[in-house]
Structure 1
Amino acid sequence: MDWLRVGAFALLILYHVGMYFVPWDWHVKAANPDPHAAILMLATNSWRLALLFVVSGYASAAVFAHQPSPAGFARSRSARLLIPLVFAVIVVIPPQPWIELMFKHGYTESFSHFWLHDYFRFGALDGIILPTWQHLWFVVYLWVYSIVLALLMLLPAGVRARAARFCEAALTGPAILAVPIALMALRTIVLFPGVGETHALVDDGATHALYFPCFLFGVLLRGSSPLWTAIRRWWRVAAVLAVAAYAVVAVIEYRYPGETPLDDTLTALFRAARAVQGWATIVALIGIADRWLNRDAPIRTTLTEAVFPLYIAHQTIIVAVGWWLLPLTLPNLAAFAILVAATAAGSWTFYIVGRSVPWLRPLIGLARKEKGRPEGRPFPTAQ
């Protein structure tokens, strides 16, 4: 699961680089966005964040095993998630809305003026709410889900055991695919048709209806032999379903790119295919990781530790470098290569510098060093 988490965050970084080139709304865009790039983006769009919440739920269960007190678990998660969140909102994220305001709204003030006079207004500036947590909405949601998990752990052990057995019974055999796909389709076609993600926490019911169950599935998965048995039995079928469903999504996107309207039948087909692709891909990837990545390597501890700092830094680097690239009018492929290289180098530097300075470690999501603890050996995390 560590390898899966590292891979999922690597894909997330590439996805955010891709946001610079597709016609979809984002903080800053390439001079000539490519409509067909959306087809590649849709290869991961329906499952990348859901997978991260599954893996985070799994890791949260591991953390709880080391900190079995619900109150202790809540304190641990709060310190590990909220401290870097606040630091990032104050220090790391501000260049993103500043550049977005210049790009979209003609804002002309310097960054220092923006940070000192406009960023901490606790209100809107040209429709952008400031200050903002931007891509760190994931951390906010993960913290909230962790607190809810801590509250659930206050329930009597018998109640929790019965609930776990019920969920396991509902997801054994082919139901490991059928039940979640049906629920995802119900969410996107019936309950929240056409409702997008706001990432504002309190008005984001459609998002919570997807990611919180994924988080709970990850929690349940860690100690569930029936679920692992079902995944090992059905992941190959899941892989076939995922590829077939993505083919449907890709063909529809190719035939009707961007904001081209779809009739009701195609809209339902598109949403249903995304539901199939989303969950089937998650099951397939867990099965693949269990089959071929269930082994250790020296680099794993470093990569696992680096994930959270890299996540904190990467989007600000993408937005800043993307803004710098605009006047150069480079071909999209060249700009993509520069963005990937700059983001990788900048994010890794952020991690290396931060981990070497003791007082910076908790600010970038790393545990404080303990005497006698080997360098590079991470604490259990759930970011």
Structure 2
Amino acid sequence: MQRHYGLDWLRIGAFAILILYHVGMVFVPWDFHAKLPGAWWVAVPMMASNPWRLALLFLVSGYASRALMIRNKKPWRFARQRSLRLLVPLAFGVAVIVPVQPWVELGEKFGYPHGFLYFYWHDYWRFGMLGPLLLPTWNHLWFVGYLWVYTLVLALAAGLLPATVTATAQRGFAWVMRGPALLALPIAWMVLVNFVLFPGARETHALVDDWVAHASYFPAFLFGYALACAPATLAAFVRQWKPAAALALAAYALVAGIEIRWPGNTMPAPWGNIFSIARAVEGWSAVTALIGYADSHWNRDQRWRPMLTEAVFPFYIVHQSIIVLAADSLRPLALPGWAEFALLVAATVAGCWAFYLTGRAIGPLRPLIGLRRHASRRTHVDPRPALV
């Protein structure tokens, strides 16, 4: 398989949006680990990416997993390689990067009286509840944990299912997902998940009880895995990206209008149902438009692409802890909202770059932040698929 540079650019862009999204979480009324005074309307622009960014990331991860499966030849080798690349930074993140988040949250919301070092040694490793929080925790790193579980399920299926079964499934996918079904079936599935299978359910990111998330993200992961060997489906994305983009914009306009009219999940029936359906339509339509546009316009390399692709995982590992610490530091200053937002973005970007550049330069730290143990000698060419 050749590397798909367009999906690399989508992945880079999606994680950049994720950083802005998590900065926005500090200001919206939704629950988050650290809060600053904000306004309800901040949720409106955030809903432009909320329905699709995670589905897109799981889809791109599934696409990359197909390339890695082909490279490793054996499912067990694929599982071993992915486990090392995912579990090591996950463990490092839980042990070193994440703990400041529950410490700030407990102090801000529940009056936790102790400093960070006391919290870390006496409370963080309690493997139980402290107030409303279960400690230790993985917080935003749930994505890495879920991706590892999906990887193991995929490797197990690849090892146990006969080749004829997997080949038939691949041909069926390529045949079905080449026309109108490319838009209709995933949207119908998301509506089914939200209204029939798990009505009113919310994601918990706790793995064992998060069936609504698994029903949304595992199919996206498998879709990406199948898409990697379905050129006809990829061509269908290119054909349909313009109508899909129009549909996504129309659905977002409806979502935004309902949120403006009834902010904070206060919409009466039947507007709550219309809101959820519009989010499902926006979500998959945006994914379709973005993949089609990326394949037709962005599938080319640029000088900064290898470094940015490599930096994405370290940025993801550290960004939320930087946001939470920075927000906690800004609270006593009582600055205007626009200044707080600008400072949070600047601090987060600067901190992420410092974390990445320092970690990549120190050999023993590289695996801890999700990088290969040894840097590639060919810095201008990166033939390996994206890992997260």
Shift of 1:374: 2.9
1:33 aligned onto 2:24: no
Query: 1:292 matched to which residue of 2?
Result: 297
Structure 2 unpaired stretches of 5+: 1-6
Whether the 8 Å CA contact 1:53–1:215 is kept in 2: the answer is: yes
- Partners of 2:322 and 2:346 in 1: how far apart? 11
Between the aligned partners of 2:372 and 2:318, the Cα distance in structure 1 is 17
State the Cα distance separating 1:190 from its structure 2 match: 1.6
Structure-1 separation of matches of 2:18 and 2:221: 17
1:38 to partner: Cα distance? 0.6
SS in 1 for 2:134: strand
Contact in 2 for aligned 1:57/1:382 (Cα 8 Å):
no
Q: CA deviation at 1:66?
A: 1.2
**Secondary structure of residue in 2 paired with 1:129:** strand
2:89 maps to which of 74, 84, 98: 84
**Letter in structure 1 aligned against 2:75:** P
Q: How does 1:301-340 map to 2 (within 5 A)?
A: 301-340=306-345
What are the within-5 Å matches in structure 2 for residues 237-248 of structure 1?
Answer: 237-248=243-254
Cα 1:318–1:244, aligned 2, differ >3 Å: closer, same or farther? same
- Where 1:373 maps in the other structure, the secondary structure is coil
Cα distance between partner residues in 2 of 1:294 and 1:11: 20
Deviations 1:149-182 (A, max 9, x none): 1112112211101011222222221110011001
Tell me, in whole angstroms, the C-alpha distance in 2 between the residues paired with 1:25 and 1:376. 42
Secondary structure of 1:359's aligned partner = helix
1:181 aligns with 2:187: yes
For residues 31 and 21 of structure 2, what CA distance do their matches in structure 1 show? Answer: 14
Query: 1:180-259 residue pairs with structure 2 within 5 A?
Result: 180-259=186-265
Code of the residue aligned with 2:320 in structure 1: it is Q
SS in 2 for 1:45: coil
Equivalent of residue 266 in structure 2, options 260, 263, 271: 260
TM-aligned CA deviation for residue 235 of structure 1: 1.1
Match of 1:2 among 3, 8, 21: 8
Find the aligned partners of 2:56 and 2:385 in 1 and give their Cα distance.
18
Which residue is equivalent to 2:106? 101
Q: Give the match's secondary structure for 1:368.
A: coil
1:70 and 1:153 in contact (8 A); partners too: yes
Whole-angstrom CA distance in 2 between matches of 1:60 and 1:99: 36
Aligned-residue offset at 1:229: 2.0
3-state SS of 1:200 partner: coil
1:373 equivalent to 2:377? Answer yes
| 377 and 140 in structure 1: CA distance in 2 versus 1, 3 angstrom threshold | farther
The alignment partner of 1:231 has SS state of helix
The total of aligned residue pairs comes to 380
Instruction: Please tell me whether the aligned partners of residues 305 and 376 of structure 1 are also in contact (alpha carbons under 8 angstroms).
Output: no
> Could you tell me which of 5, 10, 19 is aligned with 2:25?
19
Is 2:51–2:279's contact at 8 Å kept on the other side of the alignment?
yes
CA contact (8 A) 1:93 1:133 kept: yes
- What amino acid sits opposite 1:363 in the alignment? L
Judge which range, 184-193 or 100-109, deviates more: 184-193
d(CA) in 2 for partners of 1:376, 1:92: 30
Which sits farther off after the overlay, 230-239 or 273-282? 230-239
What root-mean-square deviation, in Å, do the aligned CA atoms of Structure 1 and Structure 2 show? 1.2
- Amino acid across the alignment from 1:271: S
Query: For 2:73 and 2:335, how far apart are their aligned partners in 1?
Result: 54
Contact 1:309 1:365 in 2 (8 A): yes
Moved >6 Å (runs of 4+): none
TM-score (normalizing by structure 2): 0.96
Measured against aligned partners, the alpha-carbon deviations of 1:300-352 in whole angstroms (never above 9, x if no partner) come to 00001100000001000000000000111111111110000000000010000
Alpha-carbon distance in 2 for matches of 1:37, 1:242: 20
* Residue equivalent to 2:283: 278
Q: 1:166 aligns with which of 172, 185, 195?
A: 172
Aligned counterpart in structure 2 of residue 47 of structure 1, from 46, 49, 52: 52
Q: Once the 2 structures are TM-superposed, how far is the Cα of residue 259 of structure 1 from its aligned partner?
A: 3.6
After superposition, the C-alpha distances for 1:181-228 in whole angstroms (9 at most, x for unaligned) are 011111112211111100000000000000000000101111102211
Change (3 A) 1:214 1:322: same
Structure 1: stretches of 5+ with no match in the other structure: none
Q: Aligned partner of 1:20: which letter?
A: V
Distance 1:270 1:260 in 2: 11
Matched, 1:348 2:344: no
| Deviation (angstroms), 1:377 | 5.5
Partner of 1:269: 274
